[in-house]
């Protein structure tokens, strides 16, 4: 590699790293507790516990219309937006309700999936510790523009990683792989450690960086999907009045399950929400394996008569989004993968912190060298003047 090419890559690595480092440190620090959000939620008392029921009741599943009625009894002035069931907590149906189908000030409540009775309102939002960590990590409390800004920082991280790899190869020709030179200056030791941890966390940082960028585009990708495939699927309903009386949810879900054998209901979107249409329920089915449980297949059900009108696989970009979300936080492999993700997160914090340290030390060293050069020039100037005077 020529010196000019090496200098170009060095410039790219330097500035892409400097611009994104502070924000990447913020994302790593806030992402660490989010890896263990369920465990921390239990410690903080934010997770609800399933009520004790008899062995017979434990095997039952409440009629979905009864589940919805429990929510409406709690909030008669609100409409249903979504209902979902977590694979890790099958004892609950979680209902999302608002003043209208796109209400941002929604409420969330848990209903016993076995008895159909209201249980509690999970304290998801409200300024708690995990809520603050989530918003700092996702959108900096700035909505869509905050997400897009963090996505751009993620792109700069990917550029910094790639340029770092390009620079690492010629640098390590003079050293053994992973060598950390002791007995020299602190800056040199931190440089070696920075390079070593950077290579060790390379694949993980690329995965988390790329999936993070994809996640920031979630709102945009959903709008693209709504404007293309959803619009195509609902053409026959254009011009028809919005239904005021909705069909049975129990019947709708049973028909969706019959149409997709071997799949389970992940969540249900009600008419008018972004994941449905003004005339349909969006019943989202998923598999029961670690990977397929994250891949959804929408089944559109006519909200007036519970008849299936369309079902198709999600477009590739939404599939990439759904796969990237759990991969970003290490949700695929249980406690072992969570621990690995946390360990690599800490290592990345050290890489980012050491990068800032090296940049600051290098700047100070340059300033010191410049001052010494000026001092030396000042000492030489009188001698030259005296020599001229002697002549």
φ/ψ of 195, rounded to 5, equals: -65, -40
Whole-angstrom CA distances from 382 to 371, 388, 391 are 18, 10, 14
3-state secondary structure 49-86: CCCCCCHHHHCCCCCHHHHHHHHHHHCCCCEEEEEECC
Question: What is the C-alpha to C-alpha distance for residues 28 and 354, in angstroms, rounded to an integer?
Answer: 14
Q: Which residue has the tokens 């770092």?
A: 164
> pLDDT for 171-226, tens place per residue?
666 655 555 556 566 666 666 666 667 677 788 888 888 999 999 998 898 888 88
> Which pair of tokens denotes residue 215?
């996640």
Contact assessment for residue 17 and residue 161, using Cβ atoms and an 8 Å cutoff: no
| Least confident span in 12-26, 86-100, 162-176 | 162-176
Domain count within the chain? 1
In a domain, 177, yes or no: yes
In a domain, 244, yes or no: no
Stronger pLDDT, 287 or 267, i.e. the higher one: 267
Contact assessment for residue 156 and residue 23, using Cβ atoms and an 8 Å cutoff: no
In a domain, 48, yes or no: no
In a domain, 159, yes or no: yes
In a domain, 285, yes or no: no
Q: Is the dihedral of CA 371, 376, 379, 383 positive or negative?
A: negative
Q: What is the pTM of this model?
A: 0.75
In a domain, 73, yes or no: no
- Per-residue confidence (pLDDT) for residue 156, from 0 to 100: 93
Question: What is the C-alpha to C-alpha distance for residues 282 and 380, in angstroms, rounded to an integer?
Answer: 82
In a domain, 295, yes or no: no
- Residues pairing with 283 in the sheet: 268, 299
> Which pair of tokens denotes residue 38?
């369920």
Cα distance from N-terminal residue to C-terminal residue, the chain: 52
- Per-residue confidence (pLDDT) for residue 247, from 0 to 100: 95
Burial of 155 by CB count in 10 Å (0-12 exposed, 13-18 middle, 19+ buried)?
Answer: middle
Question: What is the C-alpha to C-alpha distance for residues 383 and 261, in angstroms, rounded to an integer?
Answer: 94
In a domain, 302, yes or no: no
Contact assessment for residue 107 and residue 97, using Cβ atoms and an 8 Å cutoff: yes
Residue 102: is its pLDDT beyond 70? yes
Contact assessment for residue 202 and residue 245, using Cβ atoms and an 8 Å cutoff: no
Domain that holds residue 208: 3-40+130-216+335-363
């Amino acid at each position: 590699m020529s010196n000019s090419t090496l200098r170009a890559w060095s410039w790219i690595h330097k500035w892409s790293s400097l611009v994104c480092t502070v924000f990447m440190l913020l994302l790593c620090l806030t992402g660490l507790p989010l890896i263990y959000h369920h465990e921390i939620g239990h410690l903080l008392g934010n997770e609800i516990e399933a009520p004790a029921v008899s062995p017979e009741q434990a095997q039952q599943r409440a009629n979905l219309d009864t589940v919805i009625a429990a929510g409406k009894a709690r909030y008669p002035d609100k409409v249903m937006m979504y209902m979902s069931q977590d694979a890790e907590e099958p004892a609950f149906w979680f209902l999302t309700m608002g003043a209208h189908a796109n209400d941002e000030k929604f409420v969330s409540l848990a209903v016993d999936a076995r008895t159909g009775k209201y249980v509690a309102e999970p304290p998801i939002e409200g300024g708690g510790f995990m809520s603050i960590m989530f918003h700092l990590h996702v959108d900096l409390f700035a909505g869509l523009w905050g997400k897009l800004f963090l996505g751009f920082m993620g792109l700069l991280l990917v550029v910094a990683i790639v340029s770092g790899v390009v620079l690492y190869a010629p640098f390590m020709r003079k050293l053994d792989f992973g060598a950390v030179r002791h007995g020299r200056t602190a800056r040199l030791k931190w440089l070696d450690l920075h390079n070593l941890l950077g290579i060790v966390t390379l694949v993980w940082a690329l995965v988390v960086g790329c999936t993070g960028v994809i996640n920031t585009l979630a709102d945009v990708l959903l709008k693209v999907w709504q404007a293309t495939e959803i619009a195509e699927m609902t053409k026959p309903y254009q011009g028809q009045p919005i239904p005021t009386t909705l069909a049975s949810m129990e019947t709708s879900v049973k028909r969706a399950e019959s149409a997709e054998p071997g799949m389970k209901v992940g969540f249900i979107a009600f008419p008018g929400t972004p994941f449905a249409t003004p005339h349909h329920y969006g019943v989202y089915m998923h598999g029961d394996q670690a990977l397929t449980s994250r891949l959804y297949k929408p089944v559109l059900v006519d909200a007036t008569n519970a008849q299936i009108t369309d079902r198709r696989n999600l477009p590739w970009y939404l599939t990439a989004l759904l796969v990237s979300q759990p991969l970003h936080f290490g949700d695929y492999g249980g406690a072992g993968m969570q621990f690995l993700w946390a360990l690599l997160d800490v290592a990345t914090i050290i890489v980012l912190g050491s990068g800032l340290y090296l940049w600051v030390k290098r700047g100070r060293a340059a300033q010191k060298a410049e001052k010494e050069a000026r001092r030396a020039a000042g000492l030489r100037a009188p001698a030259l003047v005296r020599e001229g005077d002697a002549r």
